[in-house]
Structure 1
Amino acid sequence: MAVKVLVVDDSSFFRRRVSEILEQDSGIEVIGFAVNGREAVDKTAQLRPDVITMDVEMPVLDGISAVKEIMASNPTPILMFSSLTRAGASATLDALDAGAMDFLPKKFEDIARNNDDAIKLLQNKVKEMGRQRIGRITRTAPSPSISKPASNSSERFSNLAKKPIVQPDRSFNNASPAPTSSSASARASGKQYQLVAIGTSTGGPVALQTILTQLPANFPHPILLIQHMPAAFTPAFATRLDGLCKIKVKEAQQGDRLQPGCAYLAPGGQQMMVEGRASNRTLRVFEDKNERVNYKPSVDITFASAAKAYQGDVLAIILTGMGADGRDGARMLKQTGATIWAQDEKSCVVYGMPQAIASAGLASESISLHDVAARLKREVGCG
């Protein structure tokens, strides 16, 4: 079944370009276009696409406002296109808060190393988002005329637009899950830690905000954040988190000394590693020119360095995201005695990264997003 896409942009050139790229893939069908946010809302109700690609800046009704209306009336996975500017980054983060699932830079040359990679990335994101949409509809809505129960896809997706964020049910995925934590009141393991490391991708900005805003200012350990995100976005994201959280959040810089109660966000387009021993651990932030490395920043690279610097004194958490980045690094951490948690399937936007951890038998627990902060505080003894 082809993924049906509605392309929304006020530029006829960009609408045509996106359509041509998507329809190069036989698994994708562009079923309509909209030139502004108001038309996007109307055509979503009329055409019922599986995925919407949406520009941020448009006349009549802007992309953020359109996302809010669509998520309230006909919730649908939305992929935002944004300019790589400070204003564009801030607007894109607002769109994710409103319920958009993911985003890409509007200049395709900024998406990947070459044009072919950029095309594949866009196609794969749309198909992944569409497969989840189709899977939910297949499971929960065999007939559009049937009144759906409270667990239907519309209610699940509408939850993304609310705060606190309640992620949709992804029960149609297949995996070998880790033991599930039944509640946030589960007992602490008694293990001692020196570092918390969190890796994520699609859906990560909302997930990280959900967790970090619940942590106290006296959180006893440094936190490393590895979020797949372009370089232009990470400064704005770190600033936003810092303004919302009791802990300090900053974009990591070369030579940063790791301090408790501070979260360090890996800069987009670069790698972040831990160096040093004992009380003299610092961050190495560097440009990675290895073209074989798909993710910059890479969860695997940061986790591997944490395994070397901290041995088993690490609590690593893999949250929502496409792909399997973090699995190899988590394996290295596990071999040193570190603890690995994975976000559970139901609360993920995309279950790819946590599924890779669970399927490899690396996760000691599979935890709902909205239990992670409470479990984390209890585990490290600060809540």
Structure 2
Amino acid sequence: MAVKVLVVDDSGFFRRRVSEILSSDSGIEVIGTATNGREAIDQAMALKPDVITMDYEMPMMDGITAVRNIMQRCPTPVLMFSSLTHEGARVTLDALDAGAVDFLPKNFEDISRNPAKVKQLLCEKILSIARSNRRSTSFSPSPAAAPVSAPTSASVAPAPAPRAPAITPTSAPVRRKAYRLVAIGTSTGGPVALQRVLTQLPANFPAPIVLIQHMPAAFTKAFAERLNSLCRISVKEAEDGDLLRPGVALLAPGGKQMMIDGRGQIKILPGDERLNYKPCVDITFGSAAKAYADKVLAVVLTGMGADGRDGARMLKDAGSQVWAQDEASCVIYGMPMAVVKANLADAVYPLDDIGRHLAEACN
């Protein structure tokens, strides 16, 4: 059955182009369009799409208000389109708080210059979001179909033989240890997930933290500022030369790679075009394994694909601990699933328990 999509945008050109791109995929059907937020609510209730694409700046009613109303009246996965500006980042983060699942940059030049790449990215997003959320129209916990895993961006040896039976959320007590670093990797659904985890940490959290969130370069500074305003710990966008400090979370800058050396210093490197993700969880996790061996506690949260699995394997081989978010609380059960299926997870926890368990483990 084709994924039914409602396209919402006040630009006739953008509505047509998005509709054409989506309709070119046999697995997707555009069942309607809307020109403002009010129309979007009416169409969502009448047509019951599987996914909605939404602009944020529209007449009559903006996209964020529309998302809030849709989540209250007929919960439906929403993919936001946003501008690559600081203000666009702020508004997009507001939309994610309101209930949107994910976002894509709204770049007219890319659509005209590289239509094949745009088609692949947009259609993959739509299909993965729909596949993940078909478990329930209201996003209640139940088994979800696994999203297609994207290729990982780090090349390492194949997975070894299974180490242990699959871990269940209730089977893994928190292991306390003097961790020298907490490393958290995430993608789709990550902005809200990170907010829920980090706001549970006390101001005197004893370990340094690094955060790797798949996000464009224009967004990470605004995201770090938002987290810093909400959390008791300090959060900032990482810069080359930053030193790891207890109670400070450093967010990898978008479009680049973040590594850690044995002195606890951050290295920010240009994003390699050969890598799928910039920043890449595998890259940061791998450097942490080399720098701190068994003194790292890594967490893989919601996200599409399998980034983090190979880095988690390097951390496990060095003796470190790896946690994964459970399926029921994930927006997209891709990255944590890859870690769990490779038998690399020491514990699997619901999202709302992870912050509390981090505070216990590092106490």
TM-score strictly above 0.5: yes
Where in structure 2 are the equivalents of 1:1-383 lying within 5 Å? 1-107=1-107, 114-133=114-133, 135-137=134-136, 153-154=137-138, 156=139, 168-173=140-145, 178-182=166-170, 187-275=173-261, 277=262, 280-288=263-271, 290-381=272-363
Contact 2:146 2:334 in 1 (8 A): no
Identify if the C-alpha distance between structure 1 residues 128 and 313 changes in structure 2 by more than 3 Å, giving closer, same or farther. Answer: same
TM-score (norm 1): 0.87
Partner SS state of residue 222, structure 2: helix
In structure 1, give the amino acid aligned to 2:231: C
Deviations 1:211-265 (A, max 9, x none): 0011011111110100000111101000000000000000000000110100000
Cα separation, 2, equivalents of 1:230 and 1:218: 30
Letter in 2 for 1:66: A
Q: Which residue of 2 aligns with 1:163?
A: none
The superposition leaves residues 10-64 of structure 1 with CA deviations (integer Å, 9 ceiling, x where unpaired) of 0000000101111111000000000000000000000000000000100000000
Moved beyond 2 Å, runs of 4+: 108-111, 113-118, 172-178, 180-183
1:295–1:244 CA distance, 2 compared to 1 (3 A): same
**Structure 2: 5+ residue stretches without partners:** 148-161
Partner AA of 1:10 in structure 2: D
Aligned mates of 1:108, 1:378 — CA distance in 2: 47
Unaligned runs of 5+ in 1: 138-152, 157-167
SS at match of 1:374: helix
Cα pair 1:273 1:306 within 8 Å, conserved: yes
Amino acid at match of 1:172: A
CA RMSD, Structure 1 to Structure 2 (Å): 1.8
Whether contact under 8 Å (2:7, 2:19) holds in the other structure is yes
Note the C-alpha offset of 1:110: 6.2
C-alpha separation in 2, matches of 1:193 and 1:103: 34
Counterparts in 2 of 1:48 and 1:245: CA distance versus 1, 3 Å: same
For residues 49-104 of structure 1, the C-alpha deviation after alignment (integer angstroms, 9 at most, x for no partner) is 00000001000000000000000000000000001111111110000000000000
Equivalent-residue separation in structure 2 for 1:232 and 1:28 (angstroms): 30
Query: Hey, what's the Cα distance between the residues in 2 that align with 1:24 and 1:342?
Result: 36
Count of aligned positions? 346
CA distance in 2, matches of 1:114, 1:59: 29
Q: TM-score, normalised by structure 2?
A: 0.92
Q: Tell me the distance in 1 between the aligned counterparts of 2:146 and 2:17.
A: 34
Name the SS for the 1:215 alignment partner: coil
Deviation digits for residues 300-327 of structure 1 (CA, Å, limit 9, x no counterpart): 0000000111111100000000000001
Q: Secondary structure at the match of 1:233?
A: helix
- How far 1:292 sits from its partner (Å)? 2.0
Residue identity in the other structure for 1:334:
K
